[in-house]
Amino acid sequence: MRAIKLFAKQRKGAATTEYENLVLRRGVGVEGDIYAIAGNPRQVLLVDTPALAEFGLNPGDLRENLLVDASIDCLASGQVLQIGQTALVRVTFPCDPCAQLNQLQPGLAKRIKGKRGLLGIVVRDGLIHAGDQIQIAPYRFKPLPDNAKGRFTEFVGRIQPGKVVSTAQLLMALGLARSYYRTIPIFLKKAGDRSPFIASLAQTVACSQNICPF
């Protein structure tokens, strides 16, 4: 399996640019890319050529960082990929299609669900080149849920009591789009007020959305 093409997107609304090499920074992502943010589980997007062929797409259309020359269906959350000589990327979860894909083809966002690619975070620095081999490294992290509610439950369980988390921070940590702003309070409500922490987090989220009743 090889990364046959490399891309990065420098600003919102811009097209991806193809590069011969990219610098991956641990905990940050692709140097110069719009998603190079510490704590963001969407730092790197891998897409495979079978997906492009199936939907009649061109390299870069799915805004991938790495286009892989073989199916990535065998990869799973928690696995670590070595790309080139030193870079390591932890697979986090599948990339959910967004409505913008419908600009490429009507209805594409719905049809490509489950085949949009895999997201990951950089766990070791490295310079990668187009054509570099991708290997499964002998390391393994705990897999993350592939759905928003599952990731919310897992993440909230790790927040220390007294820690304040804004909605924006929560969405970034969960790898969710801003369209989920109104969904987070629903998750909190379903979680119940079993502890002062849950109640406090619910109040923080409500206030950050300017719907604070207090």
* Predicted pLDDT of residue 203: 47
Please choose, from the candidates 128, 130, 6, the residue with its C-alpha nearest in 3D space to the C-alpha of residue 63: 6
From residue 136, give the alpha-carbon distance in Å to each of 81, 121, 124: 5, 15, 14
Query: Is 2-140 a domain of CATH 2.60.40.1190?
Result: no
* Predicted pLDDT of residue 195: 45
Number of Cβ within a 10 Å radius of residue 115 = 20
pTM equals 0.84
The span from the CA of 55 to the CA of 147, in Å, is 24
The span from the CA of 175 to the CA of 180, in Å, is 10
* Predicted pLDDT of residue 192: 62
* Predicted pLDDT of residue 209: 44
Per-residue pLDDT tens digits of the chain, which is 214 residues long: 999 999 999 887 778 999 999 999 999 999 999 999 998 999 999 999 999 999 999 999 999 999 999 999 999 999 999 999 999 999 999 999 888 899 999 999 999 999 999 999 999 999 999 999 999 999 999 999 988 888 988 887 787 877 777 888 888 888 888 778 888 778 877 766 554 444 445 444 444 444 333 2
The span from the CA of 63 to the CA of 7, in Å, is 8
* Predicted pLDDT of residue 123: 97
Number of Cβ within a 10 Å radius of residue 210 = 6
Q: Where along the chain do its domains lie?
A: 2-140, 148-208
